[in-house]
Amino acid sequence: MPDKSPSTLVVGLALFAMFFGSGNLIFPLMLGAQYESYFLICAAGFVITAVLLPTLGILAMLPAHGHYERLFTDILPEKWYRWFFLLVLIFWIPLGSGPRCVVLAHASLMNYSPIRPPIWLFSLIFLAIVYASVISRSKVIELLGKYLTPALLFSIFCILISSFGHGEIKQVDLSARTVFIESVVAGYYTQDLIAAVFFSSAIVGMLNINASNRAAVLKKTWRAGLIAVLLLAILYTALMAASAVHSGSLHGLSGEKLVSTLAHITLGKAFGGLSSVAVSLACLTTEIALVIVFADFLGKHVLHDRNYRHSLLATLLLIWIMSQLEFGGIMAIIAPAMQVIYPILFVLVVRFIWRSRNQIME
C-alpha cells in the first residue's frame, strides 16, 4: 500500500514554519543591527541556543515515540506531570505566544493597510483563518509545507536579496567574547526548546493519522526536523547579515518596526508591504501550530472530550481574550513564569536523552 503521508521535505518545511514566528524574525535583525561586523560570531552564538536546543527537543521525541509525557514518567505520578505540562502550555500558548502572534500580525499590517480594524476585530478575523486551517488536522502539514511556508520564504528572501544590493557593514569596537555570550543568551530567549518538544510531538501525531509504521514516522520526523533547524540556522545568519548592512537605519528601533523599515529601505515604498506579508505569515504559521498543540492537550487531558471542535474553540477564545491586552500586558504575565518553566524543561529533555542514548543510537 503506497505511503499517502507528505514527503520529508514537506514535513520539514511545515516544522520550520511552526518554529519561525515573528520573534524568530525580529531577534536576528536586532542582533545584526547591534553588532554589525560581528554578525558571524553573533550567528554562531545564537545558533547554539536557538537551533541546537530545539534539535535536542526533536531528538528527545524519538525514544519518547512522540509522547512528551514520557519525559516525566519515571519521576512523578501521571497526575502530577500533567499539571506541569498544563502550566507550560497555558503560559506558553493562550497566555503568551498565541495572543502575541495576533498582536504582532496586527501591528505589522497596520503599517501598510488602508483599512485599520481595532485589535478585537482583527483578532476575530485572524483566529477565524486559524480555525479554518486546523479544523481538518490531516491536511495541516500539507497546508504549511506546500503553501504557507513557500510564501513566507519568498517574501523574506525578497527582502534579504534586495538588502545586499547596497549599504555596507561597519567595523565596530566590541569584545568578540561579549558578543558571543550575549548572542547565546538572546537565542535562549526564543525558548524554542518548548516549541521543539510539542511541535515535533504534534507532527508525529498528524503523520500517524495516515501511516501504519510508527518507526517510519519517527524517522521522517527526525529527518524533517534536521531540514527545519538547518533552514533556521541559514535564515538567522542571513537576517543578521542583512540588518548589519543597514545597521545605521535600524539601530535602536523597536522590534516590530525592524522588518518594515528594512523592507522600506531595500524595496522602496511600492514593495515595502512585503514586510507585512512576511510577519503576518510567520505569525499565522506559528499560530496554527500553537493552537493544534493546546487544543489537543485541552481535549485529551482537561475536557476529556473527543470532539476536537470544542477544545479548538475554547483555545481560540482564550487567545482572543488575551490578545486584547496587547504586547506589554502579555509579556508582563508570561515572562516571570517562563523564567522558571524553561530551565526545568531543559533539564528534563537533556536527562531523557541521556537515559535513552542507547535507544537513540540504534
Q: Which three cell numbers stand for residue 86?
A: 498544563
Q: Please tell me the distance from the alpha carbon of residue 126 to that of residue 133, in angstroms, as a whole number.
A: 11
Instruction: Determine, yes or no, domain membership for 264.
Output: yes
| Alpha-helical segments (H) within 77-191 | 78-92, 98-109, 119-134, 140-142, 149-163, 176-188
Q: Please tell me the distance from the alpha carbon of residue 362 to that of residue 357, in angstroms, as a whole number.
A: 9
pLDDT at 1: 45
pLDDT at 320: 96
Using CA atoms, how far residue 259 sits from 100, 107, 250, in Å, is: 16, 12, 9
Instruction: Determine, yes or no, domain membership for 1.
Output: no
Instruction: Determine, yes or no, domain membership for 216.
Output: yes
Using CA atoms, how far residue 276 sits from 260, 261, 281, in Å, is: 7, 11, 8
Instruction: Determine, yes or no, domain membership for 173.
Output: yes
pLDDT tens-digit series, residues 122-131: 999 999 999 9
Instruction: Determine, yes or no, domain membership for 2.
Output: no
User: What's this model's pTM, rounded to 2 decimal places?
Assistant: 0.89
Q: What's the structural domain count of the chain?
A: 1
pLDDT tens-digit series, residues 28-81: 988 998 898 899 999 999 999 999 999 999 999 999 988 888 887 777 777 788
Instruction: Determine, yes or no, domain membership for 81.
Output: yes
Residues near 82 by Cβ (< 8 Å), separated by ≥ 6?
69, 301
Domain that holds residue 316: 8-361
Instruction: Determine, yes or no, domain membership for 109.
Output: yes
pLDDT at 271: 66
CATH number at residue 152: 1.20.1740.10
Instruction: Determine, yes or no, domain membership for 217.
Output: yes
Sites in the chain below the pLDDT cut of 50:
1
Element (H, E) at 192: helix 192-208
Using CA atoms, how far residue 226 sits from 108, 146, 267, 288, in Å, is: 30, 18, 32, 21
Residues near 20 by Cβ (< 8 Å), separated by ≥ 6?
152, 232, 235, 282, 285, 286
